[in-house]
Amino acid sequence: MKKILVLFLAIPFISKAQHQDSIFIKQMSDDILLNGKAYDWLHHLTKNIGNRLTGSLAFYKAIDWGKKTLQEAGASNVILQECVVPHWIRGHNDAVSISSINSKKQDIQLQAIALGNSLAGKANAAVISLKSFDELEKRKDEVKGKIVFFNYAFNQTYVETFNAYGDAGKYRYIGASKAAQYGAIGCLVRSLSGSTDNFPHTGAMKYNDSFPKIPAVALGLQDANKLWKMCNDSKVAVSMCTHGKFLKDTIAYNVIGELKGSEHANEFITIGGHLDSWDVGEGAHDDGAGVVQTMEVLRVLTAMHYQPKHTIRFVLFANEENGLKGGVKYAEEAIAKKEKHLFALETDGGGFSPRGFSFKMNNDEQLKKVQSWLSLLQPYGTYKLEAGGGGADIGPLAGDQLKTPIAELSPDSQRYFDIHHTNNDVFETVNKREVLLGAVNMAALIYLIDKYGL
């Protein structure tokens, strides 16, 4: 494209009452796009600290860095909120290889990674390859002593990839125990992804205590396809070996920075992402991007000398990936202290170009109020302000006791599950402007909710 374009700038209708808001939001946007620090912070978090599974040394480094950086970004005070967390370790590298039964060919190593929370185990057995749990039920008598391979593919016809993730997720989360129920001695699952590459994707699984805790491993998609084809062509044996174990529960911290409210200091707005990551890659999109976007909102409100009416809390949650103990603790303490929580916003969908927000409100009026601000957010990429969202870490705030309205940023989802929970979730896959634009939209929403309430 060589043409020099000056695109028509759609100027949506805004009332006079919204004019001041649009000016302030534009000032925040300009400041973030010109002076934002999110990208530099993310570089430090990913390259100097790296991946940071709950309980790991890097995770504690991230807590120290998070505290220091929230102060640098302008928090009037930063506290560490203690919580007890699980401490799972992968142990050595996981290994999976296949060989045709009765063949003397060399073993074929597969791109494989043990699922998070899975335990050490070895299995060397024939594979039964299945498309679904339904097929498992039909063929349950064939499973005993074998390795079950669930090859349930991402449904590529979903335009929003989170729907494909939701659809396929149960095979990762409970597939191993489903298989163990019928006597399987190992479980392989197709990675939760629609990517074109072969990176295997880890992520949380959970054993059912009623059945043997068999090793559970995800395969890269190319190798999943290869194994599937080999299983269709002939009998196949797989050798698998994992080393996961839980150490003793340990202490971790949510890192909480505050901007004190000038009118309602005891009413809270929460904005946050999670500081932990899986033990692969650099946790750049998941959820380094959310962490630095949270800090960026704090930075820009401070730079604008904005005095919030309500106290805004910027929270780096602990242990989202394999326990959610940080999010649970945050809500428990809020309940114990009888805090009033006006709203909570989470950013944990990747640092991609923002497209809007997804809300879990208490009634239609709250959603309609937010939707009335659409024209203020549209210039920055937001066009969806819809029901259906939430967020794992802030989910407990929305429970029966606090009933806090919650929401999450909705970035473009096309690339997210290519890199999610893999060694490829690295800084280089994050685009500076995309992560900053997410922060622009978050800052605008937080500002409007602080100013107008819900």
Q: Which residues bind a copy of itself (CB under 8 A)?
A: 1-10, 29-30, 33-34, 39, 156-157, 159-163, 165-167, 169-170, 173, 194, 196, 203-204, 286-287, 320-322, 324, 348-349, 353, 358, 379-381, 383-384, 386-389, 391-392, 395, 412, 414-415, 418, 420, 431-434, 437
**Residue among 80 and 174 whose Cβ is closer to a copy of itself:** 174
Parallel/antiparallel/unpaired status of strands 354-360 and 384-387: parallel
- What SS3 class is residue 192? coil
Contacts of 334 (CB under 8 A, 6+ apart): 268, 341, 397, 402
**Residue among 47 and 235 whose Cβ is closer to a copy of itself:** 47
**Residue among 243 and 285 whose Cβ is closer to a copy of itself:** 285
Q: For residue 60, which amino acid is it?
A: Y
Q: At closest approach, how far in Å is the CB of 387 from a copy of itself?
A: 5
Q: At closest approach, how far in Å is the CB of 215 from a copy of itself?
A: 20
Parallel/antiparallel/unpaired status of strands 354-360 and 406-411: antiparallel
Q: At closest approach, how far in Å is the CB of 361 from a copy of itself?
A: 12
- What SS3 class is residue 124? strand
**Residue among 76 and 246 whose Cβ is closer to a copy of itself:** 246
**Residue among 5 and 57 whose Cβ is closer to a copy of itself:** 5
| Region of 96 on the Ramachandran plot (φ > 0 left; ψ -120 to 50 alpha; else beta) | beta
Q: At closest approach, how far in Å is the CB of 196 from a copy of itself?
A: 5
Q: At closest approach, how far in Å is the CB of 39 from a copy of itself?
A: 7
- Closest Cα partner for 420 from 224, 200, 168? 200
Task: Please identify which residue in the block is written with the tokens 């560490």.
Answer: 80
Q: At closest approach, how far in Å is the CB of 226 from a copy of itself?
A: 19
Note whether 287 and 305 are within 8 A (CB): no
For residue 50, count other CB atoms closer than 10 A to its CB: 18
**Residue among 261 and 438 whose Cβ is closer to a copy of itself:** 438
**Residue among 217 and 238 whose Cβ is closer to a copy of itself:** 217
**Residue among 313 and 360 whose Cβ is closer to a copy of itself:** 360
Q: Quick one: how many helices (H) and strands (E) in the chain?
A: 12, 16
Q: At closest approach, how far in Å is the CB of 262 from a copy of itself?
A: 29
How far is C-alpha 326 from the geometric centre of its chain's CA atoms? 14
114, β-bridge pairs:
217
Q: Assign 3-class secondary structure to 148-175.
A: EEECCCCCCCCCCHHHHHHHHHHHHHHH
Helical H segments across 156-244, by residue range: 161-180, 221-233
Q: At closest approach, how far in Å is the CB of 94 from a copy of itself?
A: 19
Tokens of 63: 């807590």
